[in-house]
Amino acid sequence: MAGGEWVYLNGDIIPAQEARISIYDHGFLYGDGVFEGIRSYNGRVFKLDEHLDRLYKSAKAIKLDIGMTREEMARAVTATVAANRLDDAYIRLVVSRGPGDLGLDPLKCPKPTVLIIAAALQLYPEEVYEKGMRLASVPVRRPAPDALNPNMKTLNYLTSILAKVEANQRGLPEVVLLNSQGYVTEGTGDNLFIVVDGGLVTAPPWVGILTGITRKTVMELAREQNIPVREDVFTLFDLYNADECFLTGTAAEVVPAVEVDGRPIGSGRPGPITQRLREAFHAYARRTGTPVYSSETRSS
Q: Note the pLDDT of residue 297.
A: 56
Amino acid at 216: K
Cα Rg of the chain, angstroms = 20
Residue extent(s) of CATH 3.30.470.10 domains in the chain: 6-119
Give yes or no for a contact between 58 and 151, defined as CB atoms under 8 angstroms apart.
Answer: yes
Give the separation between CA 185 and CA 207, rounded to whole angstroms: 6
Q: Which of 57, 153, 164, 216 is catalytic?
A: 153
Q: Give the three-class secondary structure for 143.
A: coil
Query: Is 6-119 CATH 3.30.230.10?
Result: no
Other C-beta atoms closer than 10 Å to the C-beta of 263 total 12
Rounded to whole angstroms, how far apart are CA atoms 162 and 141?
Answer: 10
Task: Determine whether domain 129-286 maps to CATH 3.20.10.10.
Answer: yes
Determine whether 153 is an active site residue.
yes
Q: How far apart are CA 138 and CA 159, in angstroms?
A: 11
Q: What's the full length of the chain, in residues?
A: 300
Angle at alpha carbon of residue 141, lines to 139 and 143, rounded to 5°:
165
pLDDT in tens, the chain (300 residues): 455 799 999 999 999 999 999 999 999 999 999 999 999 999 999 999 999 999 999 999 999 999 999 999 999 999 999 999 999 999 999 999 999 999 999 999 999 999 999 999 877 889 999 999 999 999 999 999 988 899 999 999 999 999 999 999 999 999 999 999 999 999 999 999 999 999 999 999 999 999 999 999 999 999 999 999 999 999 999 999 999 999 999 999 999 999 999 999 999 999 999 999 999 999 999 999 999 998 655 545
pLDDT of residue 34: 98
Q: Is 145 helix (H, G, I), strand (E, B) or coil?
A: coil
CA pair distance 237, 203, nearest whole angstrom: 14
The predicted pLDDT at position 1 comes to 43
Q: What is the pTM of this model?
A: 0.94
pLDDT at 254: 97
Residues of the chain with CATH 3.20.10.10: 129-286
